[in-house]
Amino acid sequence: MKVLLVNNTKAAYSAINQSLKDANLKFIFSEGIENVIEEIKTQLPQIVIINWSADDIDVESMCKNIKKLKLAKYVYIMVIAAREKEHAMTRVINAGADDFIFKPFGKTELSLRATIAKNTIKREEQISKSKKKLIKFSKEDPVTSLLNRRALLDEAIMEMGRASREGKFFSSIMINVDNLKNIMENDGTLMGNATLLELSNLIKKHSRSYDKTGRYGISQFLIFLPDTHVEQAEKFAGRITDSLKKKPIRIHGNTIPVNLSLGISEFNPKDVYENNDYDDLLINDLLLDSLIRRTEDAVEKASRKGNNSIEIIKT
């Protein structure tokens, strides 16, 4: 674990090194107070020890600036100061410091503080991982691992903004599994879910990294294709149906006949309102709803034709 020593002196380093020589830490030294933030970005220490030995260091601002950094791992800040600075320690802690220790300090005392720092970092990393999992689960459909409906619509709203700024159309494709109900009734819910998972994998296989794909309804997938007109979206949909014809879905050795209906529509970036006030945001929500309704209408039209039909309804 890396430890960055800020405003280091020979006396301070000697005391720190003696106390922490068995703590399995790698010390790096700041080349100047003004370089601390950049050094943290490049060196990525997990512990920063600030030797506050002079009043020319604005420790509060330094702590605030360190905590503002968006880094992958938690940075633990420890401040070493003389006893006469005791009155300022509340402000330093409120600014972002995790701990402080007064000089002179004993070997055991600093070693224990380092152990507390390691435990805190470990706990913060566990909390961060838990938060990421919660965010992932809150956005993810549990059956297909695609975006759930709410997360997909949030992504679509952001895509509308990008499309407007760049002046580019984007298209939507809705894929409905017409016979999902029959599959579930005849073969069970698990088989139905397995079919949806196989379909989601097929869609991901043909999608670009920046396409937005999610499960919109019980039997519906919805895909937003940035920088794509309906003609290109139709080719995408055709690749899905062609793949199913060439290689039908098989689960546990059984071929599952899947009947799809695919609807396509497109969004004109000139329609977006970008003032970010309440009325414009509401209008953009309505515009997105209109796009989805056109796509749903196209799906219904395709469903009446059958045979994995693809239908387009333009703006």
Tens of pLDDT, residue by residue over 71-121, are 989 999 999 998 999 999 999 999 999 999 998 888 888 889 889 999 999
Asked whether residue 115 falls in the same domain as residue 215, the answer is no
Residue type, 125: E
Phi then psi for residue 180, to 5 deg, are -60, -40
Sign of the dihedral through C-alpha 233, 313, 150, 257: negative
Looking at residue 91, which CATH number applies to its domain?
3.40.50.2300
CATH (domain of 196): 3.30.70.270
Q: Across all residues in the chain, what is the average pLDDT? A: 89
Same domain, 90 and 207: no
168 shares its domain with 197: yes
In a domain, 143, yes or no: no
**How many domains is the chain partitioned into structurally?**
2
Which residues are paired to 50 by β-bridges?
6, 79
Among 56, 125, 67, 53, CA closest to 98: 67
Range of the domain at 308: 149-312
**Residue 140, beta-bridge partner list:** 147
Same domain for 27 and 157, yes or no, is: no
pLDDT digits (tens, 9 = 90+) for 240-284: 999 999 999 999 888 999 999 999 999 888 776 555 554 555 667
Q: Are residues 97 and 184 in the same domain?
A: no
What is the reported pLDDT for 22?
76
- Tell me whether residue 144 is in a domain: no
* pLDDT at position 189: 93
* pLDDT of amino acid 257: 92
Percent of the chain with pLDDT over 70: 95
